Amino acid sequence: MRRFLTRVRYALQGWAAFFRHETHGQIQAIVSVCIVAAGFYFSITITEWMLVLFCIGLVLALEMVNTAVEKLADQTHPERHPQIGLVKDVAAGAVLWASLVSVIIGILIFWPRLVQWWQEFQA
């Protein structure tokens, strides 16, 4: 059990470093908090919550992996190298892909509620 708790502590240190030092981590955290607040405000369904939380988790996890890949690549091969560049581009592409899919899911969930809210606001 002690070994497990040590590993959890290291993982939490990784989270802290990511959100403290990485601009993309900070942006993702702010966006995530806003989306969760919108979910509560608009009373989204359990299924919608599952989708929203999955998207948040996926994008954050991929952003963390992308950061780790970039840091490791820069440390291993500081000068410009085509293969290292490709590895970094693919990792960034994974984040972009997950982000785009998440935006589409967010639009499908929140757009009808935003339209209704706006119509009620205008009345």
pLDDT grade, residue 123 (50/70/90)? confident
Residue type, position 64, single letter: M
The CATH number that domain 2-122 falls under is 1.10.287.3610
Helix, strand, coil percentages in the chain from 3-state DSSP, rounded to 5: 90, 0, 10
Burial of 87 (0-12, 13-18, 19+ CB in 10 A): middle
pLDDT tens digit string along 52-99? 999 999 999 999 999 999 999 999 988 888 899 999 999 999 999 999
| Residue 33, pLDDT score | 97
Q: Tell me the whole-structure pTM to 2 decimals.
A: 0.90
pLDDT of residue 82: 87
Q: What is the pLDDT of residue 78?
A: 84
Per domain, the residue ranges of the chain are: 2-122
34-41: Cβ within 8 A, 24+ apart: 35/106, 38/110
Is 99 in contact with 60 (CB distance < 8 Å)? no
Q: How confident is the model at residue 67, as a pLDDT?
A: 97
Q: Convert the pLDDT of each residue in 6-61 to its tens digit.
A: 999 999 999 999 999 999 999 999 999 999 999 999 999 999 999 999 999 999 99
The mean pLDDT value for 96-121 works out to 96
Please report, for residues 11, 42, 81, 115, the alpha-carbon distance to residue 53 in angstroms, rounded to integers and kept in the order given. 20, 15, 37, 22
Two tokens, residue 73? 């690549």
